[in-house]
């Protein structure tokens, strides 16, 4: 069964909800609400990776995320730390996080994989070709699915060399990271090939520009509101699940949970009580 990873942005500038949950109390309350709505994992991040975003000092990042990680973990949540910094990753695991989600796949901070290896935490390795400030300048591929497969395979090998067992590794094709428009659809159609790498696959399409572009057609994508983006996210998350994704990373947990439930019922999942006739 595909898991839902709920996004908890403790940032002032994330593209979708920056500033909404910037203080600790609001972020923790939001995380617990997402858990109640069906999130199996809560992904806490203190640095925006939106296009054009500037890097945040690790000390500032840790000031934002560690209290949130600590409280959510104490409440029994399975917490992931969304970071590209080795020091933040280790500190977050010490605070209770059990997954390190690095969108750069260990490329941004060459110490991250070796630092995380002895902690026992699982590691998400994202496909990445450079920082958010100029990532679209690197969106040139011979065959995008083949190239993403090869480059993620290299990151899996790097994790193994650092001492991270394959069972601890998750790969993320990096939808929206160093990929333009239609390239994202090509990568999504290639998910069945990604699952052949061996590690679990995490897919994150939530509210991203390529979805708005598709919905807008010839109109301005900026006019596509959040509700429509969330619906498109839920649909793409179901398709990712059907293609073999281990988990989907989303802002609107409830909508995605419901969409996945309907898809499972359509496919004949009979684990629900037979007394539920409506």
Known catalytic residues?
Answer: 208, 249
Tokens 């019922």 -> residue: 265
User: CA distances (Å), 196 to each of 140, 167, 212, in order?
Assistant: 24, 14, 30
- How far is it, in rounded angstroms, from Cα 36 to Cα 102? 25
Reference 252, options 232, 276, 272; nearest CA is 232
CB burial class (10 A; 0-12, 13-18, 19+) of residue 142? Answer: exposed
- How far is it, in rounded angstroms, from Cα 173 to Cα 28? 28
The two structure tokens encoding residue 79: 């917490």
């Amino acid at each position: 069964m595909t898991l839902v990873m709920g996004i908890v942005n403790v940032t002032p500038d994330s593209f979708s909800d920056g500033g909404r949950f910037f203080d600790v109390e609001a972020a923790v309350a939001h995380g617990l609400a997402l858990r109640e709505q069906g999130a199996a994992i809560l992904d806490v991040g203190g640095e925006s990776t939106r296009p054009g975003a500037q890097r945040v000092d690790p000390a500032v990042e840790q000031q934002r995320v560690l209290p949130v990680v600590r409280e959510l973990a104490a409440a029994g949540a399975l917490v992931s730390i969304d970071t590209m910094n080795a020091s933040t990753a280790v500190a977050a695991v010490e605070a209770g996080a059990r997954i390190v989600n690095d969108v750069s796949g260990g490329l941004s901070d060459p110490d991250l994989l070796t630092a995380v290896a002895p902690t026992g935490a699982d590691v998400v390795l994202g496909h990445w070709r450079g920082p958010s400030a100029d990532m679209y300048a690197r969106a040139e591929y011979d065959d995008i699915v083949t190239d993403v497969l090869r480059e993620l395979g290299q990151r899996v090998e790097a994790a193994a060399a650092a001492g991270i067992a394959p069972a601890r590794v998750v790969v993320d094709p990096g939808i929206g990271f160093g990929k333009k428009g239609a390239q994202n659809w090509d990568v999504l159609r290639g998910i069945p090939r990604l699952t052949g790498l061996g590690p679990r696959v995490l897919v994150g399409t939530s509210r991203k520009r390529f979805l708005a572009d598709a919905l807008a057609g010839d109109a301005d994508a900026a006019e596509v509101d959040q509700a429509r983006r969330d619906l498109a996210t839920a649909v793409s998350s179901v398709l990712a699940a059907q293609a073999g994704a281990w988990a989907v990373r989303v802002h609107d947990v409830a909508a995605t949970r419901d969409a996945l439930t309907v898809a499972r019922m359509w496919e004949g999942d009979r684990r629900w009580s037979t007394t539920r006739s409506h």
